[in-house]
Amino acid sequence: MKALAAAVDARDPYTRSHSARVAVLARTVAEEMRLGPDELRRVQLGALLHDIGKIGIPDAILNKPGPLTDDEWVLMRTHPAVGASILGAVEPLRDLVPIVRTHHERYDGKGYPDGLNAAQIPIESQIVAAADAFEVIVSRRAYKQAQTVEWACAEMERCKGTQFDPSVVDAFIRVIERDRQQGQGYLRRVAGIEHEEIENIPGPGSALEQFAVSAHAHGRQLAILQRLASEISAVLDIDELAGRLLRIVCEAMGYENGFLLTLADRGQGLLVRAAVGPSEPYTGQILPPGTGISWWVVEHGVPQHVVDAKKDPRYYGPPDINCVLVVPLQLGDERVGVLGIESPRTQAFGREDEELLTAVSHQVAAALRVAKLHQAAKHAAATDPLTALPNRRTFFDRLRAELAKDGDAPVSVAVLDVNGLKQRNDEFGHAAGDEALVRIGQLLTAGVRDGDLVARIGGDEFAVLFPGAPLLVAERAMRRLAESIADGRVADGKGLPTIAWGVADAATRTFTVDELVDAADRAMYRQKQK
């Protein structure tokens, strides 16, 4: 369990042993509030694992020195629910789930993920939240300097009754004041704590020893969770992540054959993200809705252990497979796909296999969800929201990459302007103008070669990148595209506006990106003036 907490903390040099220090602070405050032995144990262990959900957050976000963007905050705010799902899959840790899920809730109901307030938040969680905040304030981070203990106490007093439970703040202040009066240097000791010293937390008995006894049978689960935590945190591409997750699960559990499927976009079925063994040729395929045991598992949210697949009419897959075990990948009520193992032997798997696969499925689902959110944010940052074409930044990045390539292959750029768009908006409304822009983007995309890039770079401006095409070839292509748009129609039969365009090439690579686009822009305006 210490290794799981350390796997999160160690990803940032500023937060190393943060969880261990929070555990000491939280337990001391809980003792001050005279909580019972079971509550003390939950506070201590919940604090140690409060940030376990961050294992799925990309390093670039966790270690960012400046403020997070809105999209990055969406990802960061998933970690309490992700952590709760992970711990909920391991029996000895299930009583810690409420603490981990609610440690970012606020006393006034303005926290996340559930917006709970006051009495709805477990007292253990409110203690952990206060200890977490205090430790962050008095510690240095990539984005801030450490504050004094006095400043931290004043801040907690200021937030009493809004962010924090007043009784918790009062207990915290008493602990700090008593420590200062007795000259025990408590906070200095806390600042030096490492994960290896966590067993020495003051209190009756060793909670970690008690946990170790109860968790002995679940050590394999924890070992796999630790490996997943340590190996997947920096992977952002969802396909690469799916392949790595599946390999880790199969290697750690000793399985030769497995598959990982996620829900395809717009309910089209299940996408085979990754597979090892006989199902590997299916990778990249979309299984239609209703196909296979996997679809049944997604629909019902219940694991399926089929000991003789040939006798199950739902089976869809390689003909030499006889035994299949499939578990849903889900976070709360949200199902994101399935994780499965298979074997040519009948009755190849047992109850332990199902328990193990179910346990790791929560972390796999959490990692995939974070990767999908990151992918969506990345796509949104690179895409024009109206036309779904690449945006200006994406176009310039691609053009910059083309100009940086070695060799003499020509590169041509076209810039085009939609004529009379304002007049169309004034006459028919902005929805009509938007419809025309979308249709023009579709016709441009349909009329270029594979490898060419069409982008919307401004309100009524598009650009086309023609790698490997000299000026004359690009000009011929633009004439065809202009004719296609002139003949085009929108849904109600209205004709499309015409376009003005200009082309420039950089066969000698003497142009910069801006100079090449400006040259094409000037060529377009010369055409307009004719």
**What does the pLDDT look like over 354-365, one tens digit per residue?**
888 888 888 788
Per-residue pLDDT, averaged over 277-288, amounts to 94
CB 357 within 8 A of CB 87: no
> 235-381: CATH homologous superfamily?
GAF domain (3.30.450.40)
Q: What is the mean pLDDT of the chain?
A: 85
pTM listed for this prediction: 0.57
Closest by Cα among 391, 410, 402, 400 to 471: 410
What is the rounded CA–CA span in Å between residue 247 and residue 276? Answer: 8
CB 414 within 8 A of CB 502: yes
pLDDT for residue 212: 39
What is the rounded CA–CA span in Å between residue 395 and residue 75? Answer: 26
Cis ω on the peptide bond leading into residue 470 (within 30° of 0)? no
pLDDT for residue 267: 73
pLDDT for residue 366: 78
Per-residue pLDDT, averaged over 31-53, amounts to 92
The confidence band for 509, taking pLDDT boundaries of 50, 70 and 90, is low
CB 503 within 8 A of CB 413: yes
The confidence band for 351, taking pLDDT boundaries of 50, 70 and 90, is confident
Residues of the chain with CATH 3.30.70.270: 392-529
| Type of residue at 336 | V
pLDDT for residue 210: 38
pLDDT for residue 104: 96
pLDDT for residue 412: 96
- Is the model's pLDDT at 78 over the cut of 70? yes
pLDDT for residue 44: 92
Structure token digits, residue 91:
């029996």
The confidence band for 3, taking pLDDT boundaries of 50, 70 and 90, is low
Structure token digits, residue 47:
């604090």
What is the rounded CA–CA span in Å between residue 1 and residue 93? Answer: 10
pLDDT for residue 263: 93
Per-residue pLDDT, averaged over 376-395, amounts to 88
The confidence band for 94, taking pLDDT boundaries of 50, 70 and 90, is confident
Range of lowest pLDDT (49-63, 202-216, 334-348)? 202-216
Cis ω on the peptide bond leading into residue 113 (within 30° of 0)? yes
How many angstroms separate the Cα of 160 from the Cα of each of 21, 154, 172, 322?
22, 10, 11, 61
In three-state secondary structure terms, 479 is helix
The confidence band for 206, taking pLDDT boundaries of 50, 70 and 90, is very low
CATH class of the structural domain 392-529: alpha beta
Residues of the chain with CATH 1.10.3210.10: 2-213
State percent of the chain over pLDDT 70.
Answer: 85
- Is the model's pLDDT at 192 over the cut of 90? no
CB 293 within 8 A of CB 312: yes
| Type of residue at 162 | T
* CA-based max dimension of the chain: 90
CB 315 within 8 A of CB 293: yes
| Type of residue at 114 | D
| Type of residue at 187 | L
Question: Is the CATH number of domain 2-213 1.10.3210.10?
Answer: yes
